[in-house]
Structure formats: C-alpha cells, structure tokens
Amino acid sequence: MIWAVTRDVSDSFEQCQLTHVARVPIDVERARAQHDAYEWALVELGCTVRRIDAPQDLPDAVFIEDTAVVFPEAAVIARPGAEARQRETAAVREALRRFGMPMSNVAEPATLDGGDVLAIGRQVFIGSSTRTNATAVNQMRRFLRPLGYKVHVVPVEGCLHLKSAVTAVAPDTVLINGDYVPREAFAGLETIEVDPDEPAGANALLVGDVVVYASGFPKTRARLEDRGLRVRVVDVDELAKAEGGVTCCSLVFQT
C-alpha cells in the first residue's frame, strides 16, 4: 500500500519562512484549494492519504516533507534548520508511530530538513544547505548504514533545498538544475535538465510510475513527456509563494 501523510494549510500560512523568494500576498483559501486538489491527485494515483491538523502557530506545517524522511524500513524524524519549525515534528512523529515503523531522531546540534534528502534506490543524497548541516549528515550515515544505504553529500547553492534543484522522475533518472547542484554528484543516473526559462522547475514527485508536477513549468514538463514519462499536472502556484513545491506537501511511502 502507498501512503501519503499530509498536513493542513494553517490560518497563519502568510507568515511562512522565506529564504530565496520575495514575500508577496498569499490567498490562504486558494492555497487550501490547491492543497486539496493535490491530495486528490495522490488518491487518484493510488495513495491512501492521512492528513494531520496544523495549528495556528505553525505557518509552515503544510510543508510536512521537512519534518521526516521515511524509508521502507524506518523513519528518521528531522530537526528543521529554521528554529521556528522544530515544533512541527511532534505531531508527525506521532502520526508515523501508528504505522509501527522503527524511528530515529536527528539530535541537536544537527539540523536537517527533509527537503534536503533524496533517496534513489540504496543511494541517499543529502544537500548541504542553509537548513542542513554536516552533523546531521553524519547522524544520517549512522542511522542508514545498517540498513544498507550509502549517503552522498551534495552542495546546494542558490535555492532552499536539494529537492529544489534535483528530484527523481524515474528509478534511474533525475530532473536537475545544474546551476544549483553539481551534475557530477549524480553520475550513473540519467538526467533531464530543466528548461533555462524555468530554473525552479526541478521539483517533481514520483508516485509509482507517474510524475506529479507543477503546472507552472510547461517547457520542462514537455521535456519530461518527450522522454516518455507520464506526468500528472497540479496547480501549486499559491503554495509556491511560500517557497513550496510538489514534494514538500507530503510524505509518500510504501508499507
């Protein structure tokens, strides 16, 4: 079974953390409508969705990906790099506990955002970003080595997270913006470059054999489709005003 754990859009969503985009007005109700449609897209692709409430004082809680990393064998509860977001993890830990999976916790002074972790097979790429530090990478190595995973560190520049710059769109293929991360870090994998006019278009969510992808990047979408990939388009432009993408709004995993 494929699960997708999501979280509500908070009433305080407009007060979200921002790093690489300018603050503009956000229509919270429109963001909620887009999030609802995103969840239904996951359902249509075979996911069972479980949504967690988001209280008023957690404006970024909808971006649940940053709070945990879920592998088939276990979950790692993150410690987000923005201190104001660290309170988001408690409810996510409790939600994942219901699945009966072993859990580890990233511990101080480490900081890790789940958006900096990309797992492809037994390879785990971790972005060295403003939100994820070297201590966290070392802890992740310790957690994952016994499970048979190999960790690779990837420098990230010019964007918030590793998954802002590169994501998996097939078991052996990544969608990448080589201006934000070094292409050589993904040697051995097939690559699809984002269109130069769409530098923010590298964020995609692979569910089964379908790529969930934002409608705002039609030129890059054409590149995906030209490579024979199935694409499910969703509108997330209101969520993107808070520096979010299609991977950010769910924890997708199989049991």
Angle at CA 244, nearest 5°, toward 241 and 250? 145
Amino acid identity, residue 126?
A: I
Question: Quick one: what percent of the chain has pLDDT higher than 90?
Answer: 100
Number of domains comprising the chain: 1
Segment 136-142 long-range contacts (CB within 8 Å, at least 24 positions apart) = 136/79, 136/106, 136/110, 136/111, 136/112, 138/110, 139/106, 139/107, 139/110, 139/112, 140/76, 140/106, 140/112
3-state secondary structure of 167: strand
Q: Are 199 and 181 in contact (CB under 8 A)?
A: no
pLDDT surpassing 90 at residue 114: yes
3-state secondary structure of 96: helix
Element counts in the chain: helices (H) and strands (E): 5, 15
- Check which CATH number belongs to the domain holding 147 and give it: 3.75.10.10
Give the range of the structural domain holding residue 149, as residue numbers without chain letter. 2-254
For the stretch 133-164, pLDDT in tens is 999 999 999 999 999 999 999 999 999 999 99
Catalytic residue among 16, 47, 159, 248: 248
pLDDT surpassing 90 at residue 169: yes
3-state secondary structure of 120: strand
Annotated active-site residue 35? The verdict is no
Annotated active-site residue 248? The verdict is yes
Catalytic residue among 47, 159, 161, 249: 161
DSSP per-residue letters across 41-78: HHHHTTEEEEEEP--TT-TTTT-GGGGEEE-SS-EEE-
Cα gap 185→187, rounded to integer Å: 6
pLDDT surpassing 90 at residue 186: yes
For the stretch 189-247, pLDDT in tens is 999 999 999 999 999 999 999 999 999 999 999 999 999 999 999 999 999 999 999 99
Closest to 113 in 3D by CA, of 151, 164, 149: 164
Residue 255 pLDDT level (bands cut at 50, 70, 90): confident
For the stretch 62-86, pLDDT in tens is 999 999 999 999 999 999 999 999 9
Whole-prediction pTM value? 0.97
Cα gap 12→99, rounded to integer Å: 29
